[in-house]
Amino acid sequence: MTQNSFVRTIEDLVETVRVIARLFKTDKVFIIGSQSILLSWPDAPIVLRTSGEIDAYPENAKIWEIQ
C-alpha cells in the first residue's frame, strides 16, 4: 500500500495481522472495525474499504499490558 492510499486490500489486512502476531508473539489477532469487512468480502466496494487505519489487537493484549 502506498503512503497516500487509504483504500485497503486483503493484502494490507494479512500484513497487519502478521506484524501484530510477530510483535506480540501470538497466533491469534482480532480484526475489529470497518476493515473487518475484508475478511468476508475482499473485493468490497472502494467506499467500504477506505480507511486510514486497520483496527486490530492481539489475543494476549491483557497479558502484554500487565508485563
Instruction: Give the tens place of pLDDT for each residue, 23-66.
Output: 999 999 999 999 999 999 999 999 999 999 999 999 998 887 88
Structural domain includes residue 1: no
Whole-angstrom distance, CA of residue 21 vs CA of residue 5:
24
Burial zone of 37 (CB within 10 Å; 0-12 exposed, 13-18 middle, 19+ buried): middle
Structural domain includes residue 5: no
Split into its structural domains, the chain has a count of: 1
Whether pTM > 0.85 for this model: the answer is no
Cα angle, residue 64 at apex, residues 23 and 58 outer, rounded to 5°: 55
Provide the pLDDT for residue 66: 83
Q: Is the pLDDT of residue 4 over 60?
A: no
Structural domain includes residue 3: no
Q: Is the pLDDT of residue 15 over 80?
A: yes
CB of 34 closer than 8 Å to CB of 12:
no
Range of the domain at 36: 10-66
Q: Is the pLDDT of residue 12 over 60?
A: yes
